[in-house]
Amino acid sequence: MASERKATLSIDGQTPVEFPIMTPTHGNDCVDIRTLGAKTGLFTYDSGFLSTASCKSTITFIDGDVGQLLYRGYPIEQLAENCNFLEVAYLLKNGELPNASQKTEFETEVTRHTMVHEQLAKFFSGFRRDAHPMAVMTGVVGALSAFYNNAMDFADAENRNKNFTHLIAKMPTIVAMAYKYSTGMPFMHPDNELGYTANFMRMMFGNPCEKYVPNPVLVNALDTIFTLHADHEQNASTSTVRLAGSSGANPFACIAAGIACLWGPAHGGANEACLQMLEEIGDVSRVPEFIARAKDKNDSFKLMGFGHRVYKNFDPRAKLMRKVCNEVLTELGLQNDRLFKLAMELERIALEDPYFVEKKLYPNVDFYSGIVQKAIGIPTEMFTCIFALARTVGWMTQWEEMITDPEYKIGRPRQLYMGAAKRDVVPLAQRG
């Protein structure tokens, strides 16, 4: 057997210490520094966790240098082309793609739990009609724990499976209810005759007065969006879910925490910000002006939808989303849509401009997904809710992986304290 690789840390005045080097299936080797404090009295400082692996995981892998995203080892391109969202959900949860009977059983189980408790529906009346849907989502999803008392029994695999099913099944219903509430329209009950994504679209856009017939092209587009957003390694919201879950919090509270984190414009709100940017640019003739502003260090304007913290090459999800975008706009007769033409011109110039090429600022998935959702009829303020609906699959999978890991501990990051040194309180009368 080959000897275990070690990393040696030399500190002035101290005996060098060794730490094991851990080798993953894909990606960078990691130095195991869990004993660093005990051996040296030192901690590491890594603001933003740019070089720190916070956990072991078998779920998702990203190679940002080559533009690769794998779910359980499968390339995202293959999954998006060959599987629907619930097949991908089954894969993330169970580690393998379902066979025909497993697929049917899983889809049936999810369909049977799409209804929400009538008492939960009353929660919506407590919100202002103009409340942001993500604020509503955070409150309502967190409140689910009040309806499922078994949510705290994490040791029971059957209960974990029930929690997973309940959340995946009810998220489309809750998102649709948040939208309907903001418009003053009546809630639409789920239709068990429809598939997962078609049912969601019916609850969003249908009304009790007429039959809603889903457009298969639009259903496929939205289903693809769900698949592309199902999981994405240890991003901010996933890390939030894991950190909240490490305390033993119930999964509904953990997902609510993830939703709150996802709401940030630097995370799930990026596609909304991208569409707002396109509206600000307004016309194709103004693209060069805004490209110049994006390159100006003294200008606060940022070109949203380009570049990614992880991907240093083309975001593989963006390539898929670009294709879907064309299909949707063609189906709806919107090939000459102002925003789409503007986006294509912005993409063309940015990909040819030496500044963007050198910095590898390629279009990311948010660049196209906002246009697709707008064409489908989803309001801008609902974009991040759609993201949360899809990412709940990944969040729940990551949560379960963490709490079933025999090495898991409550999260407790250290800090580099730079505040005042210890000092004594001066009586009030003596303070200047």
> Residues with catalytic annotation?
308, 366
Q: Residues 110, 174, 374, 281: is their CA dihedral positive or negative?
A: negative
Q: Please report how many Cα atoms fall inside a 13 Å half-sphere around the Cα of residue 254, on the Cβ side.
A: 31
Neighbours of 234 (CB within 10 A): 19
**SS3 assignment for 338-399:** HHHHHHHHHHHHHHHCHHHHHCCCCECHHHHHHHHHHHHCCCHHHHHHHHHHHHHHHHHHHH
Contact call for residues 96 and 72 (beta carbons, < 8 A): yes
- Sequence-distant (6+) residues with CB within 8 A of 150 are 156, 159, 162, 163
Neighbours of 370 (CB within 10 A): 28
Partners of residue 423 on adjacent β-strands: none
CA angle 224, 229, 231 (to 5 degrees): 130
